Amino acid sequence: MNRRPNTLLIGKNGQVGHDLLPLLEKVSNVTAVDRSILDLARPDDIRQFVRSVHPEVIVNAAAYTAVDRAEAEPALAEAINAKAPEVLAEEAARVSSLLVHYSTDYVFDGTKPHPYSEEDSICPINVYGGTKAKGEDAIRRAGCRHLIFRTSWVFSNRGNNFLLTMLKLARQRDELRIVNDQVGAPTSSESIARATVDILEQILRMESPHGNLGTYHMTAGGETSWFGFATQIFRQASAELSSKVPHVDAIPTSEYATAARRPLNSRLSCEKLKSRFGIQMPLWQDCLSSVLASVSAAEKKGLVHSAR
């Protein structure tokens, strides 16, 4: 990157945003905001703020991600996941900024027997997935330069995610029942952040990057079920954190009632990402090792990580 662009990072305290911020600061001039500064449920505030910052790159790492709660709060989920990206895209198109946005495996219904490609038709089966699909569509319709990265099963050493929930439950319970027929790729926010900045640097060096813009899948290598992810968490945490290992029973989705339906197949093919940008995402097991190491380091320093 020959010149440091002005970058607006939205969602700086989320999992991906938190890991993005220090990497973006190395290559751009960053204005980073969270919900206390910019409420994505207020479209007029979004327009006014973007126009005050004059960003050349907008990275939207914020979203309504409470999948089950979204079933009871569809209007709020749509405001944040669909309307806010539409406004950001319109503002990006107005000044020829590049918009980077994150989406989800939940735009698919999970019935395909193989990993989904970017060309597969979307068919969300819950409110969250539906609002994220609307956000994607709005960005494309706005005609702005954009990168949409679909990812899955995001986890890190902070916030609300499956890894921290399992570590918390391991301290509280001797037995757990975990779904074994939903398959995907647990992906660390750190790996997403690194890949994003790598791609941004490539795009901003290109004289004519248009052919490399669009939608990409960005998930860790390999695949597993929630049961497989949990058992690997406990196996590695036992060594890394001296954590207790509970007994884990594998159960089908039909035995674990949730407000929102989940796709059984969340596998996404990342071949397009690799062929266009030369990026090979790390294996999910390596992502897990890296995050657990950071959890261990934080515990040794006396820092507390939330598993809300």
Task: Supply the residues annotated as catalytic.
Answer: 128
Supply the angle between the helices 284-300 and 226-240 in degrees, to the nearest 10: 40
Residues 218 and 196: their CA atoms lie apart, in Å, by: 9
Closest CA to 130 of 108, 112, 153: 108
Q: Which residues neighbour 152 within 8 Å (Cβ) at sequence distance 6 or greater?
A: 104, 105, 184, 185, 186, 187, 219, 266, 268
Region of 220 (left: φ > 0; alpha: ψ -120 to 50; beta: rest) is: beta
CA atoms 109, 110, 114, 115: torsion sign = positive
**Count of beta carbons in the 10 Å neighbourhood of residue 147:** 23
